[in-house]
């Protein structure tokens, strides 16, 4: 793993933004990729090339030149999205995608609606510090969506 132009870059030219990832987390994500080349900020994918922000939790495989590929293609349109700073027990980002008809929260391997995510936060974290961080983000999303 080398550091280049603000990214951690592995031997296959896959890269992770140093503002989002640590070298250790970039290394783990690099090890999770199976024959991927030239991808950015991806994890748990197989046989992809030049993708951006894809992950196995979204079902990526054999993709090329994608951006959040299988997730956005499931919407059949370009969703709006909002991404948190590093929060919660994983100290990682959470992203909410939505259109007029659908919404989905992606947090680690959790994928579901905002109400489902709220329930998961309560179940997993009760009222601890992580729950407070997630709830603040959820409120921000709700306000933004209703603007």
* pLDDT tens readout for residues 97-126: 887 778 888 887 777 899 999 999 999 999
Residue 63: the pLDDT is 59
User: Is the pLDDT reported for residue 70 higher than 50?
Assistant: no
DSSP letter (8 states) at residue 56: G
* Same structural domain, 92 and 130: yes
Domain stops at, among 71, 88, 116: 71
Question: Is the domain of 60 the same as that of 102?
Answer: no
Residues 81 and 140 reside in one and the same domain: yes
88 and 108: one domain?
A: yes
Mean pLDDT of 3-31: 92
DSSP H helices, the chain, are 23-32, 69-75, 114-125, 129-145
Boundary (domain end) residue, out of 16, 49, 71: 71
Q: How far apart are CA 109 and CA 62, in angstroms?
A: 20
The mean pLDDT of 42-55, rounded to a whole number, is 72
Give tens-digit pLDDT for 84-103.
Answer: 888 998 888 888 888 777 88
Both 67 and 3 in a single domain? yes
Structure token digits, residue 98 = 């939505």
Last residue of a domain, one of 71, 103, 125: 71
- Separation CA 40–CA 2 (nearest Å): 14
Is pLDDT of 7 > 80?
Answer: yes
Closest CA to 125 of 88, 83, 86, 96: 88
The range of the structural domain enclosing residue 60 comes to 1-71
* Residue 66: both structure tokens together: 């994608």
């Amino acid at each position: 793993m080398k550091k280049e132009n603000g990214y951690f870059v592995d031997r296959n030219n896959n890269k992770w933004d140093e503002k989002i990832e640590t070298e250790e987390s970039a290394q783990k994500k690099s090890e999770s990729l199976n024959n991927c080349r030239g991808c950015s900020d991806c994890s748990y994918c197989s046989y992809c090339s030049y993708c951006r922000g894809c992950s196995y939790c979204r079902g990526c495989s054999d993709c090329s030149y994608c951006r959040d590929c299988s997730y956005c293609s499931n919407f059949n349109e370009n969703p709006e999205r909002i991404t948190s700073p590093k929060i919660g027990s994983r100290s990682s980002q959470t992203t909410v995608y939505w259109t007029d008809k659908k919404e989905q929260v992606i947090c680690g391997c959790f994928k579901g609606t905002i109400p489902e995510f709220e329930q998961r936060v309560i179940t997993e974290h009760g009222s601890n510090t992580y729950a407070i961080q997630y709830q603040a983000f959820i409120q921000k999303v709700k306000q933004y969506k209703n603007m």
